[in-house]
Amino acid sequence: MTPIFDTHSHYDDEAFDADREELLSSLLQGGVGYVVDVGAGIPSSKRALELANSHSFIYCALGVHPDEVGDLNDETCRWLEDACAGEEKCVAVGEIGLDYHWDVHSHEEQKRWFEWQMELARRIKKPVIIHSRDAAKDTYDVMKACRADEIGGVVHCYSYSAEMARAFLDMGFYIGIGGVLTYKNARKLVETAQITPLDRIVLETDCPYLSPVPHRGERNNSLNIAHVITKLAQIKNLTEEEVRKAAWENAHRLYGLAL
């Protein structure tokens, strides 16, 4: 059976402080092959890098989420650029993007730092992990202006329409799908999964958040991707192994890792 590749997790989160090492050991025993721990700000990016450097099966992405762009200044930008470019276990710049749900920072400030991090990814030739909430058009417009099709990456925790997904797919991006696919109110995501080619889907948890049914409301972890695989196989009329194999290969391509 092909292993699971969790393309987006947050094991550096304090939700795992009590039992992190025990849980990480259980992932390997349960069929997880690789995990990417994704930074959401400068402190969490530093923790993600520490995790990646201390566990052979963990890679990291380093970046600043739109809610955390207040972290960015001359000093932290230098650290982020040096770490993204120089750290072997860093496979992407992220998560970066726009979040108009919470509006922690102005839209203009979010866009400015989104663009800066997109250009960082271009300079160091690594993909981006896009966070976009309630900001579909502006996210697409920034990506278009930054020629994101030349950079590549994934729209993580995809939440928009199937029509919008086609626009991101046309840019060459992957679509990140997680536990939300199993929810009763996931009609838009189910439609997106139906129209997205299997070779453009990657699987993720966003743990500790967004646990799939039957674990909704609990702390999430990479083993729960098995439930997403089951649902995606049903939607695509494929075997679970076909989904596992495709997702494994797609994740390696996304992050530039040798199979």
**What pLDDT does residue 40 have?**
97
Specify the amino acid at residue 87: E
Between CA 151 and CA 123 the distance in angstroms is: 9
Mean pLDDT of all residues in 169-188: 98
Which domains, and CATH codes, for the chain? 4-255 (3.20.20.140)
Between CA 192 and CA 208 the distance in angstroms is: 24
**What pLDDT does residue 65 have?**
98
pLDDT band at 120 (very low <50, low <70, confident <90, very high): very high
Mean pLDDT of all residues in 198-227: 98
pTM of the model: 0.98
For the stretch 53-78, pLDDT in tens is 999 999 999 999 999 999 999 999 99
User: Which string of DSSP letters, residue by residue, matches 87-116?
Assistant: -TTEEEEEEEEEETTT--S-HHHHHHHHHH
> What letters, b where the CB count within 10 A reaches 16 and e where it falls short, cover 40-76?
bbbebbbbbbebbeebeebbbbbbbbbbbbebbeeee
The structure tokens listed for 202 are 């990657």
Mean model confidence pLDDT for the chain: 98
- 103 alpha carbon, distance to own chain's centre: 21
Specify the amino acid at residue 239: T
Is the separation of the CB atoms in 8 and 36 below 8 Å? yes
For the stretch 102-113, pLDDT in tens is 999 999 999 999
pLDDT band at 36 (very low <50, low <70, confident <90, very high): very high
